[in-house]
Amino acid sequence: MNLRLLLLLAALLAPVASAQTGDSANGLFLIASPGLADPNFRRSVVLVTQAADGSSVGFIVNRPGARSLAQILPENEVLKRFTEPLYLGGPVEAAGLFAVFRARDNPPGALRVLDDVSFALEPAVVEQLLHAPPQRVRFFNGYAGWAPGQLALELDRGGWFVLNADADSVFRQDMSTLWQELLLRVNAITASAPGQLSGVSSDTPSRARRVSHGFGR
């Protein structure tokens, strides 16, 4: 595992004292393992980061819904421009409206995930995006959330693989093969450098061992 990814994972799983601020970026992709049985996350790719309270929060990026905001509320003038499918972001607050967007500046209340990608979890931020959308914005019903320590446990059990996240994958149009493509990337990395992904020395910190075990299975 390269140093940057290890540091990002350590930050993601760190206690509350190390939780990110709104403007820092530590986003990663969680790729569901083929054996993950939870129907909420089967064959999912989750863009995940750490919230201010030390919990982990993210959105399933490869699960578009059947209708767009424009189709759901066709008489609403504000929503007519949003013709892209409304994505199903996760089981938490599944009826709520949230967004992932790409912008150089991170507005107050938004959670920075990647260099120019942010989460809009607060209603005021979502409303701002509806009225003045940036060049790239994707709206979601619901999001994924883990209490402090919960994601580390799931990684321990081998439920997820972890990769660096990138904005192009988050906002690509065809999501039908994203999970398979990222899983192939994980398998290629594991095959080319198995010791770096699944083998760690005995003096590696316990947090890194948890991450490596979840990543390498």
Cα-based angle 95, 100, 103 (whole degrees, multiple of 5): 150
Rounded CA gap, 78 and 70, in Å?
A: 9
Domains and CATH numbers, the chain: 3-178+193-210 (3.40.1740.10)
Written as tens digits, the pLDDT of the chain (217 aa) is 443 444 344 444 443 323 344 566 789 999 999 999 899 999 999 999 987 788 999 999 999 999 999 999 999 999 999 999 999 999 999 999 999 999 999 999 999 999 999 999 999 999 999 999 998 999 999 999 999 989 989 999 999 999 999 999 999 999 999 999 999 999 998 877 654 443 222 222 223 223 333 322 2
Q: Are 133 and 81 in contact (CB under 8 A)?
A: yes
Per-residue pLDDT, 193: 63
